[in-house]
Structure 1
Amino acid sequence: MIPNPEFDGAQPAEQRMTKLADYAGRLGFEVVDIAGFLDTVDRQSQNQIRTLSEAQIAASEVMAANGTVRQALTSVTGITDQTLAKVEGSVAFVRESGQKSQSVAAWVQELAERMERVAKSLEAVEANNAHIADIARQVNILAINAKIEAARAGDSGRGFGVVAEAINELSQKTARAAGEIEENISTLSSWVGKLRDEAGTVSSDASHVIANATEADHALTGIAEGVRQTHSATRTMADEAEKVQYAVEKFHPAFDTIGTIARDTAEGIHIANTRVEKLVDSSETIFQTAVALGGASEDLFFINKTRQAAAEISALFTGALASGRISRADLFDRSYVPLAGTNPAQHMARFTQFTDEVLPEIQEAMLSIDPKVVFCAAIDPNGYLPTHNRKFSQPQSKDTAWNAANARNRRIFDDRVGLKAGRNTEPFLLQVYRRDMGAGKFVMMKDVSAPIFADGQHWGGLRLAYTF
């Protein structure tokens, strides 16, 4: 070991113990600073492990989901294959049916035109028949007149009378035939009229059929094209899903390796942090031992003031028990009732009102012993701090960050420094810690504490925090 020239064997023991205490204090500062850094890194590494675990789970879920998507796309592709074939078949069938419908509709339209021409022909026949009937009536009149004249002529007109009679009979037959023809034509005209009307209706429907068949053909053609595009898209998606699956399968093992390395690193950091915390305890023990053996220190002033104040509080607590001002059960109550609506959470114990009455006088006086002093407050073994300095005992607001800095009374500080201060029973305990100032900034602080006893029973400790 290289000897330290500052430790001269001729120096008095007290001087050497003072230097040892000084070195122990410096060591504590550096170790706590490192410990704080390692604690930050430890928390960050644990967060990274959680993030990596979540990412690994997410990657596995992506693989599973992608497999499901691939199966679905394979099924969809098969369905679109079948659908496309059916749609194309339907298009061909409907197109053929449409063509036939158009042919039928054209025939119906032509039939309607023909019925119209037949109706006109019947009208002409009816007119001609009426003309024939009129001629038959005239012939009949002429025949009757001829018969009359033949009768007047006697025997000489007899032959003419026979001819006239024959003509009369022929004209009557012609008239009767014309009547029957007119009746038949009328009936036929009625039928043709109905057929013409029906043919007109059918012709109109045929026009709609032709138009609808054309629209249906266009629609089905569009459907077929849409199915083709869907089929193409599903095939593209299936191809992309295959690429995703390949990429994830390649990435997943590497991700597992990263996770393993990160967990091993985090475990190493956690172990280092734990060992450094033990080193902090050791440096604190070295410092306390050096002071106890007579070493002077710049912290001795704060240590003595804290011990004196803790003794005063012990006397107050003991006296309050003796006078019945507070019961032992209430003073040593360890049930903490949360105060509704507080953030950060504040609590009440059965002794809180009592400490609010007796502690401020001593604690407030300690703030003025040196400009370095930041706060002075009593704390129980569980880290519960019932009564703080007035500047840190403000009523809470809606601003949580402001509350955390200014409403620190009735809070539980169960961190390493707070718990050690509340549980220490040695004459004093000097700790070094990093105080979080927010926004990632920390200030190195010293915390000296001395135990508080009430009628010989350990109640907690008095903390005095000050800057370097």
Structure 2
Amino acid sequence: MIPNPEFTDAQSTDPRMTKLAEYAGRLGFEVVDIAGFLDSVDQQSQRQLSVLGRVQTSASEVMTANGAVRDALGRVTDITSRTLERVEGSVAFVRETGQKSQTVASWVKELAARMERVATSLEAVEDNNANIADIARQVNILAINAKIEAARAGDSGRGFGVVAEAINELSQKTARAAEGIEENIETLSSWVGRLREEASGVSNDASHVIESSVEADRALTEIAQGVQETHGATRVMEAEADKVQQAVEAFQPAFDEIGKSARGTADGIHVANTRVEKLIDTSETIFQTTVALGGASEDQGFISRVKEAAAQVSDLFTIGIKNGRISRADLFDRTYTPLAGTDPAQHMARFTGFTDEVLPAVQEAMLAFDPKVVFCVAIDPNGYLPTHNKKFSQPQGKDPAWNAANSRNRRMFNDRVGLKAGRNTEPFLLQVYRRDMGAGKFVMMKDLSAPIFVDGQHWGGLRLGYTF
């Protein structure tokens, strides 16, 4: 509890109370240090729980996705299996067709060669027929001459004349037959010539068909091999997907157990942190009670000085209202307007301009009181700090970490220490805490505060921060 004000003005120093106050101060230091550690562990455990939750979610998503992959691979395997059967059938068909095409093409090429030989034979027949026609002409001439000689011989040559006439008729028939043969040979030669030309073209096409059939057979064979490899790969992938599924199913319960254990640990740390914070309150109450009951403390000078400074601020605020520099409504207004583009966020209140004018005289003087003093600021019950010491009131830059350490005015410090200092109405409140300096740096400090009253109305508190 907070000590009753009637004990704060003890007339004598009790050595036992002084010793108790010393122990209470040490206890407060250690408890706050432990609390800071537990708070860090608590935050870290909460982050780990969050990460673990995402991992568990990811594991479930992996199982779902892997199941979909397995289904897809199964379908692909079936498709490649059917495709392989069709391709192999097509390869066999094309190969058989190619073989037949090659046979036909070979026959066509042989036909072209035979037509060449037929053409050659026809040329020989034509030559022979020409010889026959020539012989027939010669025989005809001889028959005519024989008939002439038979006529000269008279009756004695009559028989020879009959023979000559018969020979003449035979030669004429032979000549006419040779002419008919010549015409037929010419017609046949013309046909054979056209057949030779066509056979030559068909032979070229047949050669192309043979080459194409060989290329088609090779291409289809490669396709079949590719489909076989794809089929084998999908079977391997399907087997690997089964392994992944088994592995995920195996570690999922482990993840659940880890998550359960981590949540239990986090809950325990959070409870311990809460209890330590209550222990801090208890240690602070013990210290204040011992001082109020007559115990001396190394902080006694700071206590007296901060109470005096808080009274000065109370007077400045009261005079400001009386002189019309600020209205009571504005001084006690709790509306905070964020300043755009600030990081960490800064705010303006209706009384910020007024405090910037009157507080530096008191706050800057407190910095020179003792080398241990780090800061002196006024804070309202909501943790709003309008005006800081000049060295901590630098204009913000682009680095949030630098801003956190050097631009601490017009900021909300609504942590445990800040709120207790702003809301305390007892003569003083001494707290030990880890001051966040930004960029992950903390400093163990004492926070001593005294309430600020304006015409009996509680405005906030004056905080004095100093090192051990």
After alignment, is 334-343 or 29-38 more displaced?
A: 334-343
1:178-231 per-residue CA deviation (whole Å, 9 max, x = no partner) reads: 333233222222222222222222222222222222222222222222222222
Q: Alignment partner of 1:255: what SS?
A: helix
Distance 1:452 1:73 in 2: 75
| 1:258 paired residue number | 258
1:411-467 per-residue CA deviation (whole Å, 9 max, x = no partner) reads: 222211112122222222111011235675532110111222334332222211111
Distance 2:63 2:56 in 1: 11
Distance 2:350 2:157 in 1: 163
Q: Give the deviation of 1:126 after TM superposition.
A: 2.4
Report the number of matched residues: 457
Q: Give the deviation of 1:146 after TM superposition.
A: 5.6
| 2:458 paired residue number | 458
In structure 2, runs of 5+ residues without a counterpart are 1-11
Distance 1:233 1:402 in 2: 57
1:79-138 per-residue CA deviation (whole Å, 9 max, x = no partner) reads: 222222222222222222222221111111111111121122222222333333344444
Checking the alignment, whether the CA contact within 8 Å between 2:315 and 2:454 is kept in structure 1 is yes
Matches within 5 A, 1:33-44: 33-44=33-44
Distance 1:456 1:123 in 2: 144
Checking the alignment, whether the CA contact within 8 Å between 1:317 and 1:455 is kept in structure 2 is no
| 1:182 is the counterpart of 2:182 | yes
- CA distance 1:306–1:133, change in 2 (3 Å): farther
Distance 2:18 2:255 in 1: 55
| 2:228 paired residue number | 228
1:148-174 per-residue CA deviation (whole Å, 9 max, x = no partner) reads: 666677777666655555444444433
Checking the alignment, whether the CA contact within 8 Å between 2:404 and 2:437 is kept in structure 1 is no
Distance 2:56 2:139 in 1: 118
Distance 1:385 1:285 in 2: 25
| 2:369 paired residue number | 369
What amino acid does structure 2 have at the position aligned with 1:373?
V
| 1:289 paired residue number | 289
- CA distance 1:322–1:147, change in 2 (3 Å): farther
What amino acid does structure 1 have at the position aligned with 2:270?
H
| 2:24 paired residue number | 24
What amino acid does structure 1 have at the position aligned with 2:200?
G
| 1:49 paired residue number | 49
- CA distance 1:152–1:65, change in 2 (3 Å): same
Distance 1:145 1:459 in 2: 167
- CA distance 1:270–1:149, change in 2 (3 Å): same
Distance 1:383 1:155 in 2: 171
Q: Alignment partner of 2:14: what SS?
A: helix
What amino acid does structure 2 have at the position aligned with 1:270?
H
Distance 1:347 1:168 in 2: 145
Checking the alignment, whether the CA contact within 8 Å between 1:346 and 1:409 is kept in structure 2 is yes
| 1:5 paired residue number | none
Distance 2:187 2:454 in 1: 134
What amino acid does structure 1 have at the position aligned with 2:231?
H
Distance 1:367 1:60 in 2: 58
Q: Alignment partner of 1:176: what SS?
A: helix
Checking the alignment, whether the CA contact within 8 Å between 2:402 and 2:438 is kept in structure 1 is no
Distance 1:295 1:16 in 2: 7
| 1:427 paired residue number | 427
Aligned CA RMSD, in angstroms, stands at 2.4
Distance 1:337 1:301 in 2: 38
Matches within 5 A, 1:273-352: 273-352=273-352
Q: Alignment partner of 2:350: what SS?
A: coil
Distance 1:308 1:327 in 2: 24
| 1:4 paired residue number | none
- CA distance 1:383–1:152, change in 2 (3 Å): farther
After alignment, is 292-301 or 36-45 more displaced?
A: 292-301
Q: Give the deviation of 1:266 after TM superposition.
A: 0.9
Q: Give the deviation of 1:49 after TM superposition.
A: 1.3
- CA distance 1:274–1:140, change in 2 (3 Å): same
Distance 2:395 2:268 in 1: 43
Q: Give the deviation of 1:346 after TM superposition.
A: 2.0
Checking the alignment, whether the CA contact within 8 Å between 1:391 and 1:406 is kept in structure 2 is yes
Q: Give the deviation of 1:409 after TM superposition.
A: 1.7
Q: Give the deviation of 1:62 after TM superposition.
A: 1.9
Q: Alignment partner of 1:359: what SS?
A: helix
After alignment, is 296-305 or 174-183 more displaced?
A: 174-183
Q: Alignment partner of 1:408: what SS?
A: coil
| 1:244 paired residue number | 244
TM-score by length of 2: 0.90
Q: Alignment partner of 2:435: what SS?
A: strand
- CA distance 1:406–1:64, change in 2 (3 Å): same
Q: Alignment partner of 2:22: what SS?
A: helix
TM-score by length of 1: 0.90
Q: Alignment partner of 1:41: what SS?
A: helix
- CA distance 1:325–1:154, change in 2 (3 Å): farther
| 2:7 paired residue number | none
Checking the alignment, whether the CA contact within 8 Å between 2:421 and 2:463 is kept in structure 1 is yes
Distance 1:416 1:172 in 2: 145
| 1:269 paired residue number | 269
- CA distance 1:114–1:451, change in 2 (3 Å): same
Checking the alignment, whether the CA contact within 8 Å between 1:35 and 1:273 is kept in structure 2 is yes
| 2:70 paired residue number | 70
